Amino acid sequence: MSVNDQLRPELLYQLAPERVARTRVRDFQRWLATERRLDLPSYADLHAWSVSHLDIF
């Protein structure tokens, strides 16, 4: 077991991929891809983009 594994909290719950696909956040990611040509496939990507581009977010 690595140090990173020891520091990572236990995952208690994760939405099924089909439920994730139906969320409003995923709808927004698809809209950004279609309308703004922004490829932000994960929530982490969306978050990083949103905090680094406050003027257009």
pLDDT tens column, 3-54 = 666 788 899 999 999 999 999 999 999 999 999 999 999 999 999 999 999 9
Among the listed residues 56, 57, 22, 28, the one whose alpha carbon sits nearest the alpha carbon of residue 41:
28
What distances in angstroms separate CA 39 from CA 4, 9, 10, 18, 57, one per listed residue? 28, 29, 29, 20, 15
Q: What is the pLDDT of residue 44?
A: 95
Q: What is the pLDDT of residue 3?
A: 66
Q: Which amino acid is at 51?
A: V
Q: Does 6 map to a domain?
A: no
- Phi, psi values for residue 29, rounded to 5°: -60, -40
Structural domain including 43 reads 14-52
Q: Does 5 map to a domain?
A: no
Q: Does 57 map to a domain?
A: no
Q: Does 46 map to a domain?
A: yes
Q: Does 37 map to a domain?
A: yes
